Structure formats: C-alpha cells, structure tokens
A and B are shown apart, each in its own frame.
Chain A
Amino acid sequence: MDIDALERVNDNEWLVPTSYREDMRVPVRIFASREILERLEGDRSLEQAVNSATLPGLVGHVTVMPDMHQGYGFPIGGVAATEYPTGVVSPGAIGYDINCGVRLLASEVEYDDVDHCLDELATNLNRRCPSGVGVGGELTLDEGEMKNVATDGARWALKRGKARERDVERTEEGGRVEGADPAAVGERARDRGSTQVGTLGSGNHFLEVEVVDEVFDEEAADRMDLREGRLTVQIHTGSRGYGHQICTDFVDWFQDVMHDYGIEIPDRQLVCAPMDSEPGGAYLRAMRCAANYAFANRQVLCDLARLAFHETLSGVVGDRELHQVYDIAHNMGKIERHRVDGESVEVCVHRKGATRAFGPGAEDLPEAYRDLGQPVIIPGSMGTASWVLLGTDRSMEQSFGSTAHGAGRTKSRRQAKQDVWGESLADDLEEAGVRVRVQSYAGLAEEAPSAYKDVDSVVQSVHRAGIADRVARLKPVAVIKG
C-alpha cells in the first residue's frame, strides 16, 4: 500500500479510513514513523490489516504496531477487537503459536563478576533447556497431566515444584487463563503436546542472557529488580505443537461453518465464527488451553534456567537467584473491557504479534506493578538490544491496551539465508561479546539481525506515540537458539 494512501495523524500515527475499501467495517490505525513505513516496500502487512478490518463485530479500529510485517491473513503486529459475545473470534488473527510470549527474569548477578563464566553458563543453559526442531523435553505427560496443564497453566508447574508463587503472580493472567476446557481440544493436539512442555522449539524462539545496559525509569526499574550492569534472562517461546494443532483444527472446521453465519471474508485464513456460537465458543475454550500450556512451558524452562544458573555460578557469586519480572503473551485473544466511543464495552482483543500493555491502575495487574502499569517486554533481533517498557493510559485509549512485540522482520527467511552465512554470523556475534549456542546454522542465518527492523526505532515509535514508556534497555551476552 502506498504511503500516500494513508492519512497522517502525526509523526507516529497514520490512518486508513473506511473509505479506502468498501468492505472495511472500521478504520486501520497505524503506529509507526514515516521511516518505518518507507521500509515496508514489498511487504503486504497494511493490505492484510485492511482485510482484517472486514471482520464482523469489529469495534473501534484495527491497530497496527511499528514492528508490523506480513503474516498469513492477519498482519504480525496487529490488534483487532470484536464485541463480545456477538462479534467473531478468528483463530488466524491470534496465530498458530497461541500465547507465544516472553518471560523476563532479573538477577542480582553483576556482569563484571561472572564475565569469565559466561561461556560455561551458555553451555549449561543450552544443555538444560531443550531447543531445536523435533526436540522433546524431559517430561512426558499422560492424558490426566495434559488436562491439568491445559486448565492450570503455570500453576500446574507450581504444584509440581517448578515455580514460585512470585512467578505466577507476575505472569499475565496469573499464569492461568480462566475458561479453558480440555474437552474442546482434539486428540492430535494432545499427542503433539505430550512431550513438549519445557522446550524452546525453533524458528525465532530463544533463550537469552542479557545485561541491563541503560535505565530510563529508575523507580519502575527498581520495582522490577532491574539495575544497570546486572544479568537478566529472557525466554521466548509458546504453545509448541499443542497450540499449532489447535489452531489448525479450528481454522479447518471454521472453513465449513463460517458460511452458516453469513460471513464473507477476503482471505480464507481469516475464517471466524461468532463467539456466542458453538464453534466460536469451542475455539475460545481450546485456545485458552493452549495459552495455559504456553505459560506452563515457559515456567518449566524458567526452572531449568535457574538450575543452570546455580550449577554454573555456585561458588562464584553469593546470590544467583533469578526473579520473575513478568511473563507476557503476544499471540492471544482475550475478553477485556475497553472504552469505545465513550462507552465501556466488553470485547475480544485479538493480538497477533502485539503485546498487552495495560496502563496504571488496571485491576488485572499484580499488586507490585498496579500503580506503575504493566511491564512490556520487547525482544530485539539476535545480537541487538531488548527493551522493557510500561503500558500507559494512552495505550488503553488508543490501542486496546496494546503495544509492539519485537523488532519485526524486513527480509524473507530465504533472503536472509542468501545474505548471511550462519557460521560467519555466529563468529561475528561471539566477537561482539554474544556467546552463541545454536542447533541449526541455517536457522541462525534466518534470524540474523539484518533481517529485522532496528528495534530501537520500533521502541522509539511506541514511546513517542505514548502507547508504552521506556524503562530499561538490555544488551545480549549469550543466546541459545533452536
């Protein structure tokens, strides 16, 4: 889409009005600088946002974040809210990796005290935290345990001694989404998920050790235990084959039932059903199972990362604990209450490659953060900074309490592999002080920093737009990738 077709609201906000295409039900609001938009050449994310603006029951506007890039049907970096329960839910607008998300752990460990141990730490994290294609975890769950994971999420891990109360308290939804029903999940999803709790997977998923590089908000950073020069750990993964299969099953089923509700869509991946219909309700119940599975998955990986920290740093530093900062989803559908045209409305907020970013005072936030706003974690591309931000009042008003989720790709995976040699990239990263442990060099090349936007410019855009405030920047020192 040509930038000239957009209405400029200000330097960081643009609009596609409903007059752009007659089947649009709501406008598209874009948070991005002109520079970011100009770099989208050839990318179809804005066309996909316009397609998404045709879904029945939409309210407000479809929002696109500055890390937007072309997805399959719904753009990555997109947010869409449909009125609950009469509007639709669209599995494709949440994605196959349901509750793909990020967990951030803080420590008291000073980088300077353990610099000499970081190679060993990276190796031990890599050994303990399974990653890569087709790699299962240490746990094989029977049907009963799979049901427990699906309904209890991170709280299942708490009962198994693999979590602390603070971990679940400082997780979106307390680590357990209500309304999950394992009966809505098919046998194939259970099969795929039974050996994958506690695994990173491949693609853009990773575990990273970072050092707090710069603090922008002392009070908020202090509350999150983030202090300059200290190590953090970030875990990025989701619901693995369990979530992928749930989405696959429902997108297939919805192809049949959607027409029963008289719904027409411009892209079959956007299939949807009213939330108050039997198929729509069943999807919500199954999707919540996958969300809980992902919370449990990141929790078990957190437990394994703690073991690696203790194993490596015992006798080197006194306090080697990893404290939960927050765990957030960036592929999820949530029933939330927002103000639309001055009225409080209950909606299903579809976030695909977008992070919930509730402002100060939101009841859903843990007590430790309620007066600050919700912590937002934006991972950078490998080798570049990651960011911690806070949700704001403006994000509640402008973007259904949402903000960006990452750097956002600019190059195709094929192009990245042509431009970058995985082994050379690993050498470059090591030279820059980032220890790399990787299962596939081809996979590493696909995730090269040059394949992504500059994460600092993405963060600058959301900060200037007021839909998240900067707290701290984190610099990577070790990366574990599948």
Chain B
Amino acid sequence: MSAFERLSDAYCELDHTADWALEVRGPTLCGALEAAARGMYEMEGADAGPNPRPIAFDVEARDDVSRLVGFLSELLYLQEVERSVATDLTVESTVDGLSVEGEGRDLAGLDKEIKAVTWHAAALERQGDEWIGRVTFDV
C-alpha cells in the first residue's frame, strides 16, 4: 500500500509530490461528502473547540464533482474567515447542488493550512454499492 495511507475506512491520503490528495468512500453521495469533510480536517489537524452553534449553507453545483469541490471550498472558507470547524454534518443533494446543516465549533487548533481545493483529477462517482471520490488540495 505504498501509494496511499489509510486514515480510516472512509478516507485515505493519496501520494502527491507537492500537494495533498484524498480518496473518500461512502454508501451514498452525501456519505462520501461527509467523509471528505472529516478527511480534510484530519489532514489539516483541525481541532474542533467550544461554542457549538448551528450552521447551514447551500452549495451551488452543476455536477457531482462540483458538489465535492464546492462543499470542501465552503468548509475552508468558514475555517479561515469564521475560524470555525463544521461537525455532525448532514448533507443533502438538491437539484441545484447541496444543502448542508450541522454544528459549527471554534477552531481550536490547526497544524497545516490548505490553500484551496483543486479540480485536478477530482472525481465523485458511484462504483457498485458505494460512492468513491478523489480530490487534490493545494497546500
């Protein structure tokens, strides 16, 4: 398994020379997206702190890959501007993209910063009984 490091059953880090790449799995599209959020936070070493509050946002998307990239980009924006980590996420796919609800908590710690979620080799598709996604981060 030299090409990737298993972080959990739902997500693993793929090898990439300069940046970070993540593979995610879920029983549904939304499950794979929730795994992507957890995987991204784990790669960054983002710690959820106190002050839980409800969060909700929509993601406009034109296809499943843009659902993945748009969703993670929104979480990164919340992390940097509002210093907030999203937990207990419930993601629903809509005609226009995604509807997301969950809990936001103060960002208590961050080991490494992701600059952006890229579209390079990004994928999110159903394979058999599960949804598998791949995404590369600029770090």
A interface list, Cβ under 8 A from B: 43-45, 69-73, 76, 92, 95-97, 133-134, 188, 191-192, 201-203, 241, 244-245, 247-248, 251-252, 255-256, 267-269, 271, 409-415, 440, 442-443, 446
Contacts and interface: CB of A to CB of B under 8 A. Distances in A.
Given A71-B18, A72-B138, A442-B45, A96 B13 contact: no
Interface stretch (B26-34, B49-57, B66-74, B125-133): B66-74
Contacts, number: 109
A414 B77 contact: no
Interface string B116-139: 111111100000000000001011
A73 B118 contact: yes
Nearest to B60: A252
A72 B136 CA distance: 7
Contacts of B119: 72-73, 92, 251, 255, 267-269, 271
B82 to A, nearest CB: 9
Contacts of A203: 112-113, 115, 139
Contacts of A415: 15
Contacts of B138: 72, 95-97, 244
A96 B138 CA distance: 8
Given A414-B5, A443-B112, A248 B117 contact: yes
A133 B15 contact: no
B65 interface: yes
B133 to A, nearest CB: 14
Interface in B66-113: 66, 69-70, 73, 77, 80-81, 83, 107, 110-113
A442 B112 contact: yes
19 contacts: A69-B17, A72-B121, A76-B18, A92-B118, A97-B115, A97-B138, A188-B81, A201-B113, A202-B112, A203-B115, A203-B139, A244-B115, A248-B73, A252-B70, A268-B119, A269-B120, A413-B20, A440-B111, A442-B45
B113 A72 contact: no
Given A70-B16, A255-B66, A440-B111, 5 more contacts: A409-B18, A412-B15, A414-B13, A415-B15, A443-B111
B64 to A, nearest CB: 12
If over half of B's interface residues share one DSSP class (helix, strand or loop), that class is named, otherwise mixed; here it is loop
B81 A70 contact: no
A268 B120 contact: yes
Interface of B: 5, 13, 15-20, 45, 62, 65-66, 69-70, 73, 77, 80-81, 83, 107, 110-113, 115-122, 136, 138-139
A192 B80 contact: yes
A414 B65 contact: no
A244 B139 CA distance: 11
B109 to A, nearest CB: 9
Contacts of A192: 77, 80-81
Among B5, B65, B66, B111, which residue has the most Cβ atoms of chain A within 10 A?
A: B111
Contacts of B45: 442
A421 B28 CA distance: 38
A256 B62 contact: yes
Contacts of B20: 413-414
A414 B113 CA distance: 14
B55 to A, nearest CB: 16
A443 B20 CA distance: 13
Contact of A409 (B17, B120, B122): B17
A417 to B, nearest CB: 10
A203 B139 CA distance: 6
A72 B115 CA distance: 13
Contacts of A201: 113
A256 B118 CA distance: 16
Contacts of B5: 414
Contacts of B111: 133, 440, 442-443
Nearest to A134: B110
Given A96-B115, A202-B112, A134 B17 contact: no
Nearest to B17: A70
Contact of A71 (B15, B19, B65, B83): B19
B139 to A, nearest CB: 6
A73 B45 CA distance: 26
Contact of B80 (A76, A202, A241): A241
Given A247-B116, A255-B66, A269-B118, A414 B17 contact: no
Nearest to A133: B113
B8 to A, nearest CB: 16
Contacts of A268: 65, 119-120, 122
A247 B73 CA distance: 12
Contact of A133 (B62, B73, B110): B110
Contacts of B120: 71-73, 92, 267-269
Contacts of B80: 134, 192, 241
Contacts of A411: 17
A92 B107 CA distance: 29
A43 B111 CA distance: 26
3 closest Cβ pairs, A-B complex = A72-B120, A269-B120, A268-B119
Contacts of B122: 268
